[in-house]
Structure 1
Amino acid sequence: MVLPEKVTIIEVGPRDGLQNEDNFIDTETKKEFIKTLELAGILEMEITSFVSPKWVPQMKDAFSIVNSRPTGIRGIALVPNRKGIEKVLETDCKNIAVFVGVSDSFNKKNINKSTRDSMEELLPIIAELKAKGFFVRACISTAFYCPYEGKISTKETVKLCREFTAVGVDELSVADTIGMATPVESFILFSELKKELPSMMIAAHFHDTRKMALTNIYAALQAGIDRFDTSAGGIGGCPFAPGASGNVATEDVVYMFERMGIETGIDLDKLVNAIDVVAPHLSREIESGYYRLSKKDMGDM
């Protein structure tokens, strides 16, 4: 068994985790959440998104979040289109994420554009951003399955990833958006991506809808992936993807890696403290195994 000595966790809780919440979480709580995640040792993080408040009202405070982000992290802002890019350019943020679905149906439900139309808009924007010194992350949704079209072919996902690579993105985040992938499918896709794009930085993004995320992460690890998107407390999902009930919990992933002797650089006790900041404001209870057991142990003391 060949395993890496260390992995990188990209925390998506402040953005992907909170965007689904019906009740607006106050800006100061979000800022404290981000700061305590940094104190836990997380150095890369999706912190907000510049999207229309009409569609994602939780992100209406994006400017405030970006302008107060900790200097010790790579704070990434998600943008859907040129309008979102123009908003980012009003700040000093130099780390952005763009996104597109492999599935046309999902893309149209998400941003009212076909996958091809999205790519025709995004590719020249990415080239412009790279010329200005931006770090650009491309998030590939429905890389395995689509809630409307079913199984997505590995060939189509790899093709889309290759297009982003050709225009110079720094990282690909490849997502099991509705949590239907199996470990075999995870290993096959990520092995193919590593073979086709050996020098590209690739992150695996799994949802735990069917409680398969940890096994899929292990399979991706075996395929050579050492970067993983996770969400503290397992919060979030995609508002435009039925069945995407939540991201894999950062604390459960960190616990698994640390028990395997793989370094994450993250302090689990401090991570629990970060979850405690946001948990009282959420519409549902935190269900991750590590978090629940940590609270039970404290109650037993």
Structure 2
Amino acid sequence: MTASGLPMTVPSPGLPARVRIHEVGPRDGLQNEQGTVPTEVKAEFIRRLADAGLDTVEATSFVHPKWVPQLADAEALFPQVRELGVRLPVLVPNERGLDRALALGAREVAVFASATESFAKANLNRTVDESLAMFEPVVTRAKAEGVSVRGYLSMCFGDPWQGPVPVEQVVGVCRRLADMGCDELSLGDTIGVATPGHVKALLAALGAAGIPASSLAVHFHDTYGQALANTYAALEHGVTTVDASAGGLGGCPYARSATGNLATEDLVWMLHGLGIQTGVDLGRLTATSVWLAERLGRPSPSRTVRALSHKE
């Protein structure tokens, strides 16, 4: 670490010059909190993330409050942040959720699919085919409105019920989401079991199926400490969009073994050390996670946040 609290920059050949960080803390992170975080705190969290240089901040989810009560304030929250000048995608589970999002002026939405039958049943109470059939009119309508659509695909590497997930199975569902009209696909390692070789194999198979790295994002959990290694493998393959959660917030409420998302600060530390541009001010981002941790009543699990916030 240098005196400035930043890593020494040593570029590695063959990696992207810039990476777009898709910040998921306000949605994926806070949806797993035991208690309800006040709307004003959520809005300030999003403002601080934008001020730290994150240009894509997933704001909330327009899912029925019964299923995710922590995000029941979507209608109250979104108008408070929609003029920030950054990309503010929101999750929409169905056409009703899309209606709510469009009514508030959302210009980017996401649907949340599963690569496995077991997780589709647990998360959506539908088969994979039934869930894709539910998403198709959502994607079609959103695209007709000029709204971009991200397709999240969970359980791309392993499933707590069925175990390892065949690469071909994941490619098949990705192909269907792409054909449906999704502009970007986010590959989720929902229970954190992926390893770099597995990541490269999946990305290569997707490329062979006509889905280029330029249309992909990666979303790793750090259950076995592999999130950064897996991210590096994806960068080597040409992926330039990486999902992360400020302070390492969140996990998956339907996957008991999953720990938190890849911490944005840990990702930024690695990327900046590699000379990869992100536009993120690591000091401001760390301060934001410390600020939120104080309001949540527990320290951030991010190693970088802990190291920088305790540095004298």
One-letter amino acid matched to 2:41? T
* Paired residues, number: 298
Indicate the residue corresponding to 1:145 in structure 2.
Answer: 158
Find 1:228's aligned residue among 234, 239, 242.
242
Indicate the residue corresponding to 2:69 in structure 1.
Answer: 57
Matched, 1:108 2:124: no
Find 2:40's aligned residue among 28, 32, 40.
28
Distance 1:261 1:89 in 2: 38
Indicate the residue corresponding to 2:233 in structure 1.
Answer: 219
Indicate the residue corresponding to 2:101 in structure 1.
Answer: 88
One-letter amino acid matched to 2:38? D
Distance 1:194 1:42 in 2: 28
Matched, 1:18 2:30: yes
Secondary structure at 1:44's aligned position in 2?
coil
One-letter amino acid matched to 1:180? V
Indicate the residue corresponding to 1:258 in structure 2.
Answer: 272
Indicate the residue corresponding to 1:38 in structure 2.
Answer: 50
Distance 1:67 1:18 in 2: 18
1:77-226 correspondence to structure 2 within 5 Å: 77-195=90-208, 196-198=210-212, 201-226=215-240
Secondary structure at 2:31's aligned position in 1?
coil
Distance 1:153 1:283 in 2: 40
Deviations 1:47-77 (A, max 9, x none): 1001122221110111122112243111011
Unmatched tracts of structure 1, length 5 or more: none
Distance 2:270 2:227 in 1: 12
Distance 1:57 1:75 in 2: 20
Matched, 1:47 2:59: yes
The answer as to whether partners of 1:32 and 1:277 remain within 8 angstroms in 2 is: no
Indicate the residue corresponding to 1:73 in structure 2.
Answer: 86
Secondary structure at 2:219's aligned position in 1?
strand
Cα offset, 1:283, TM superposition:
5.7
Taking a change above 3 Å as real, the CA distance of residues 88 and 60 of structure 1, as seen in their structure-2 partners, is same
What's the RMSD between the two structures over aligned residues? 1.3
Taking a change above 3 Å as real, the CA distance of residues 283 and 107 of structure 1, as seen in their structure-2 partners, is farther
Distance 2:294 2:67 in 1: 24
Secondary structure at 1:99's aligned position in 2?
strand
Distance 1:230 1:194 in 2: 23
TM-score, normalising length: structure 2? 0.92
Deviations 1:197-217 (A, max 9, x none): 127521000001111100000
The answer as to whether partners of 1:165 and 1:200 remain within 8 angstroms in 2 is: no
Identity of aligned residues (%): 43
- Following TM superposition, the consecutive aligned residue runs of length 4 or more in structure 1 with deviations greater than 3 angstroms are none
Find 2:286's aligned residue among 262, 269, 272.
272
Distance 1:235 1:107 in 2: 23
Distance 1:182 1:271 in 2: 27
